[in-house]
Amino acid sequence: MAYHQDIKIGVLGGGQLGRMLLQSAIDFNLELHMLDPDAQAPCHQLASSFTQGALTDYDTVLSWGAPFDVITIEIENVNVEALRELERQGKKVYPQPDVIALIQDKRTQKQFYQERGIPTAPFILTENREDVAQHVGFLPAVHKLGREGYDGRGVQKIASKAEIHRAFDKPGLLEKLIRFEKEIAVIVARSSTGEVKAFPAVEMVFHPEHNLVEYLFAPARLQQHLSEKAEDIALKVAEELKIVGLLAVEMFVTPQGEILVNEVAPRPHNSGHQTIEANYSSQYEQHLRAILGLPLGDTACKIPSAMVNLLGEAGHSGPARYAGLEQVLELSGVHIHLYGKKITKPFRKMGHVTIVDTSLERLQEKARFVKDTLKVIA
């Protein structure tokens, strides 16, 4: 479809990913219309129209989607049947409803990798807790709910028989616990024209003691053949899915140099925020180019970067304040992105900070400083 600025685009979800998509859409004169269950969602004042409603409700999605030419998502927990009906009505729905459905269920996602020869950790499908108990020999493993496991929910480590009582009593899967050296992500775009491009791999940096992700580093510090392998795998997943739009592919790098797909998200992703400042094209612009059938942008890095998520401080709930903002803005190469959420809660994603620097050492120092200094409190 040829670009024209009067094309009507609907977006399911109006959170921070939608907000950054909106910022990019302004450059293309594109109006984005959004649906979100939260009346105060980050996009509520910025979208060309904002509708409050449940993304998982068939009738809501169907009637909301009626006026648009193209429909996309910024969150995958949406009503796929309504999207299928909108597609039948002739609308472009990108990513396609079938792709969203496959990804929504971690069981079908894993089976897909297996069928298509995409490397992933060994797994067993389980129907309920009793079923998990049948596979003691497979432990230690990560037990994952098939559906509705978002943002760390629906995932449970089961080290041994003694922990099986913690298993979910619903359809899920047991995945072999993988020792990994690095956790990386590659964001791929596939256009409605079939063109594909991968952003360089990025790396999650873990705190040396707490074993929590501290910040993200781009590009990933990997031997070149591993970076290339990771990009090839991510491209293969996107091509096998025939997705139109962005696909974020999270992967593990094992000590043996294997690369295993962990999971994917069919939308802009937390691991691509830094592309706004650090790459020739941002993931947000790339998503718009992909769903509009425009040529994909160059994904190369302009400059190395680190990205720190800004989470609500533990013990603080209420109207958000940003302590340490001025000290952080004194550093060269620091760029803050606040998400417009008035209320902070413990661990709520309130914003992120991107840092660009030509020196990897300084990047690390600055990332730690930002992490230690900037606090979202109430």
Binding site for a copy of itself (CB under 8 A): 2-5, 19, 22-23, 26-29, 31, 45-46, 48, 280-281, 285, 289, 294-295, 297-298, 300, 302-303, 320-322, 325-326, 329-330, 332-340, 356
Contact (Cβ atoms closer than 8 angstroms) between residue 70 and residue 7? yes
Q: Pick between residue 172 and residue 293 the one whose CB is nearest to a copy of itself.
A: 293
What is d(CA 193, CA 367) in angstroms, rounded to the nearest whole number?
Answer: 38
Q: Tell whether 175 is in a known binding site.
A: yes
CB-nearer residue toward a copy of itself: 79 or 279: 279
177 is in an annotated binding site: yes
Q: Please indicate if the annotation marks 242 as binding a ligand.
A: no
Give me the least distance between CB of 222 and a copy of itself, in Å please.
23
* Shortest Å, Cβ 338 to a copy of itself: 4
CA–CA separation, 354 vs 268, rounded Å?
Answer: 16
Nearer to a copy of itself, 214 or 285 (CB): 285
Maximum pairwise Cα distance, the chain: 60
Task: Specify the DSSP class assigned to residue 169.
Answer: S
Least distance to a copy of itself, CB of residue 306, Å: 14
Q: Which is nearer to a copy of itself, 119 or 324 (by Cβ)?
A: 324
Q: State how far the Cα of 175 lies from the Cα of 139, in Å rounded to an integer.
A: 9
- Under DSSP, the state recorded for 279 is B
Q: Which is nearer to a copy of itself, 109 or 305 (CB)?
A: 305
* 91 marked among binding-site residues: no
Q: What is the amino acid identity at position 220?
A: A
CA distances from 204 to 188, 286, 288, 330, 371 (A): 17, 22, 26, 25, 14
Query: CB–CB of 363/357 below 8 Å?
Result: yes
Of residues 211 and 332, the one with the C-beta less far from a copy of itself: 332
**235 or 320: whose CB is closer to a copy of itself?**
320
CB of 329 to a copy of itself, least distance (A): 5
Shortest CB 8 distance to a copy of itself, Å: 14
Q: Classify residue 258 by burial, with Cβ atoms within 10 Å: 0-12, 13-18, 19+.
A: middle
- Residue 298 CB, shortest distance to a copy of itself, in Å, is 4
CB closer to a copy of itself, 143 vs 289: 289
What is the closest distance, in whole angstroms, from the C-beta atom of residue 202 to a copy of itself in the complex? Answer: 18
- CB 133 to a copy of itself: min, Å: 49
Amino acid at 331: L
CA–CA separation, 245 and 188 (whole Å): 8
d(CA 256, CA 272): 27
Q: Are 348 and 341 in contact (CB under 8 A)?
A: yes
How many Å apart are CA 238 and CA 158, to the nearest integer?
31
263 is in an annotated binding site: yes
Helices 80-88 and 97-104 sit at what angle, rounded to 10 degrees?
Answer: 170
Q: How many CB atoms lie within 10 A of CB 43?
A: 28
The answer to whether 235 is annotated as binding is: no
Annotation-wise, does 144 bind a ligand?
Answer: yes
What is the C-alpha to C-alpha distance for residues 358 and 360, in angstroms, rounded to an integer?
A: 7
Residue listed under structure tokens 């902070």? 344
Binding residues for ATP: 106, 144, 175-178, 183, 262-263
Binding residues: 106, 144, 175-178, 183, 262-263
